[in-house]
């Protein structure tokens, strides 16, 4: 087992076993306790329903966290030329967000993993991944534009920033 994987697993275990940490922790915990899952997306409802049926509110964070971190690590491992640095970047910029916005983090991880279908120009598998991601968080639908932007072979992305 390499050092990058050990470090990644250590921090992920801490994230999965946390208690009362994260912006939405209380909301998810209460949703399970109060059986109030109708406002969530379909696959998010499934994860919440499983936690309700087992009577384990904390299980929600494991059900969202495990696939999130597996997808992030496997994508980094496959596409990064410097795995340790990529993991450091993930933890620097996205890890804390993943503790609070668990549905969005899983949707992002699915879309991140699906990038291989953009590179190989396989729209249907990419679409399936986006649909799955969208069933965890509706905002994931925006990732469909990434496929078409890549296919258009845009060499430059021009950002217009207001200056004032």
**74-113 confidence digits (pLDDT tens):** 999 999 999 889 988 998 998 888 888 999 999 999 999 9
- Here the tokens at position 114 are 């699906």
| Residue 64: predicted pLDDT | 96
pTM for the structure as a whole: 0.87
Identify the segments of the chain with pLDDT beneath 70.
1, 153-164
User: Residue ranges of the alpha helices (H) in 17-155?
Assistant: 25-33, 42-54, 59-79, 83-93, 95-100, 102-113, 115-119, 123-134, 144-151
CA end-to-end span of the chain: 52
């Amino acid at each position: 087992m390499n050092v990058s994987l050990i470090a990644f697993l250590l921090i992920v275990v801490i994230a999965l076993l946390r208690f009362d940490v994260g912006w939405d922790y209380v909301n998810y915990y209460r949703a399970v306790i109060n059986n109030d899952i109708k406002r969530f997306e379909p696959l998010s409802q499934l994860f919440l329903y499983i936690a309700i049926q087992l009577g384990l509110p904390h299980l929600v964070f494991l059900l969202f966290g495990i696939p999130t971190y597996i997808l992030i690590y496997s994508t980094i491992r496959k596409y990064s030329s410097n795995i340790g640095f990529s993991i450091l970047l993930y933890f620097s910029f996205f890890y804390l967000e993943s503790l609070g916005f668990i549905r969005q983090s899983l949707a992002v991880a699915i879309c991140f993993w699906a990038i291989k279908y953009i590179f190989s120009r396989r729209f249907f598998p990419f679409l399936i991944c986006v649909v799955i991601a969208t069933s965890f968080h509706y905002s994931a639908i925006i990732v469909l534009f990434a496929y078409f932007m890549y296919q258009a072979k845009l060499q430059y992305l021009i950002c217009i920033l207001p200056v004032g």
